[in-house]
Chain A
Amino acid sequence: MGLLTVSPSPHIRSSMTTQRIMMMVILALVPSIAAGTVFFGPRALILIVFCALVAMFTELVCCALMKKDNTISDGSAMLTGILLALNLPATLPLWQAAIGCIFAIAVVKQLFGGLGCNFANPAITARIFLLLSVGSDMTSWVKPFYYLDAPAWGIFEAAGSNALDGLTGATPLATGDAGLMELFIGNVGGSIGETSALAIIIGGLFLIITKVISPATPIAYLGSLSALMFIQVLVTGGEMTEVLYALLSGGVMLGAFFMATDYVTTPITAKGKIIFGIGCGVLTFVIREFASMPEGCSFSILLMNLLTPYIDKFTRTNPVGARKPEKEATE
């Protein structure tokens, strides 16, 4: 009799659950977390754990207030907290990081309906929120291994403390004087997760091999950025290493592999993903070269997030065998 029972579709079920995908992404972030902890000391690790906890707590409170099912177990809040922390400088005061996490979860995600309904990436939006709100603390980068030179307990101090005098420096994207190998390994100043390109690439490849993310977006993003840099080098007559320098410095790597591949806020189709990636690359290039800010990665991803519904509409596919929908009559 069991064979005759008819159930409605879908009939093919995958073992990939939301929870599992989130756990895979967190696993892929482990190399970056480790690299951040090695370069920026115990405070970086504290900040990451703190952000994850605050994000999960905010999710819990929001769900309780809105009388919705508790969604904390799907791991998305934890991932948002970790991703946000990786986008922050290691010495950011904890209360500012907490405000960022609350903003990401409560305002960007839950006010718009929770996971799957948010129009912009919560971690990116919260980073921009903090950058515009507390700009000086958000752009005070400590030098790698600063904690070896800092006085005892100085390693736990936040930005602005006397214990950190002389240990901060500008991001290599602004100064342009770091070696390529240093940039690749991550031995430069910057936010916790963005400095080590090696760790990000390991995590990114893991996600691509396990088919959690599609390689289309990172390739289109990094490809279009390098192409534009290449043209710029040809026009201005600089050295070709500038192209590599642009790819390895700043937040492009982290953005391309972990932010621009978010399921909710990026296009569904492969064609859409490529358009999204190219858009991010072009905007990043334009902001870096022609705007007053040194880094444009987060702004470019947020802008493309807003365009995602239109890209999806433009690249909509037809089911196999279906007739093309007739064009709407012009009025």
Chain B
Amino acid sequence: MKLMNEFTKGILKENPVFVSLLGMCPTLAVTTGAFNGIGMGLSTTFVLICSNLVICLLRKVIPAQVKLPCYIVIIATFVTLIQFLLHGFVPSLYTSLGAFLELITVNCIILGRAEMFACKNGPVASVLDGAGMGLGFTLALFLMGSVREILGSGTWLGITIPGMTGHTMSLFVMPAGGFFVLGILIAVVCKLSNRKPPKKLGCAGCPNAHACSAKCEETNA
């Protein structure tokens, strides 16, 4: 039951994009279409699951002083792997993701889960955590990509939507539209998960509080 919770928390309750606001760079940059969103999300999920597993298995071997370089080396290995796979089998996706595929290496979701979860938990929990977070990321990217593609280009997953021709608003495929859609979606997710803005900013209202070691000073919101 507890393991199931590790999986489901990433999808809505601790969604990396809509709740923790991690990985903003790929979220805003590659979601001009729904297919790009799925591709980026699944690539990240693959890297996240693999790196979580390896890091959690090596957690007693890696010395604390050099843990970040070690994490990066492990993550970069899997990113190289997925990069070659995409280049070989889905070259169109490889081209449209461009530099953002390589930038998965420094994606803060992956490094964050390694630092906050995988180095403290067992392999099964780590894999489930990685899968849940990755799925949450993929869902968020797919949702954003869908909204932006439908409103901005009049297509969905490349299929032209009847009635949308000549009624598209190109703002939504521009960077400004990305920020706009992200803000609206965060507001909707907040409403759906019934979260109220915290009265006081501090550890109490922070979704990452349980895994955070720093004690922040409380300030009035």
- How close is A277's CB to chain B, nearest CB, in angstroms? 26
| B170 interface contact, C-beta 8 A | yes
- How close is A65's CB to chain B, nearest CB, in angstroms? 12
Most A C-beta atoms less than 10 A away, residue of B167, B170, B171: B171
Contact of A132 among B166, B167, B171 (CB under 8 A): B171
| B206 interface contact, C-beta 8 A | no
Complex: A140 Cα to B66 Cα, angstroms: 61
Beta-carbon nearest neighbor of A93 in chain B: B167
Contacts of A70 in B (CB 8 A): none
| B176 interface contact, C-beta 8 A | yes
Complex: A129 Cα to B171 Cα, angstroms: 7
- How close is B126's CB to chain A, nearest CB, in angstroms? 40
A76-119 interface bits toward B, Cβ cutoff 8 Å, 1 = contact, 0 = none: 00000000000000000001000100000000000000000000
Majority SS at the chain A contact face: helix
Q: How many residues of B contact A (CB 8 A)?
A: 8
B83-105 interface bits toward A, Cβ cutoff 8 Å, 1 = contact, 0 = none: 00000000000000000000000
Beta-carbon nearest neighbor of A132 in chain B: B171
Contacts of B170 in A (CB 8 A): 132-135
Contacts of A134 in B (CB 8 A): 169-170
B155-173 interface bits toward A, Cβ cutoff 8 Å, 1 = contact, 0 = none: 0000000000011011110
Q: Which residues of A (215-230) have their CB < 8 Å from a CB of B?
A: none
Complex: A133 Cα to B168 Cα, angstroms: 8
Beta-carbon nearest neighbor of A99 in chain B: B169
Complex: A135 Cα to B174 Cα, angstroms: 13
Beta-carbon nearest neighbor of B170 in chain A: A133
Contacts of A95 in B (CB 8 A): 167
Complex: A129 Cα to B170 Cα, angstroms: 10
Beta-carbon nearest neighbor of B176 in chain A: A132
Most B C-beta atoms less than 10 A away, residue of A99, A134, A160: A134
Contacts of A135 in B (CB 8 A): 170
Beta-carbon nearest neighbor of B152 in chain A: A133
Complex: A132 Cα to B173 Cα, angstroms: 10
Contacts of B171 in A (CB 8 A): 129, 132-133
Contacts of A132 in B (CB 8 A): 170-171, 174, 176
Beta-carbon nearest neighbor of B184 in chain A: A107
- How close is A68's CB to chain B, nearest CB, in angstroms? 17
Contacts of A99 in B (CB 8 A): 169
- How close is B109's CB to chain A, nearest CB, in angstroms? 28
Apart from A95-B167, A133-B169: 9 A-B pairs, beta carbons within 8 A: A132-B170, A132-B171, A132-B174, A132-B176, A133-B170, A133-B171, A133-B172, A134-B169, A134-B170
Q: Which residues of A are interface residues toward B (Cβ below 8 A)?
A: 95, 99, 129, 132-135, 160
Q: Which residues of B are interface residues toward A (Cβ below 8 A)?
A: 166-167, 169-172, 174, 176
7 example contacts (A-B, Cβ-Cβ < 8 A) are as follows: A95-B167, A129-B171, A132-B174, A133-B170, A133-B171, A134-B170, A135-B170
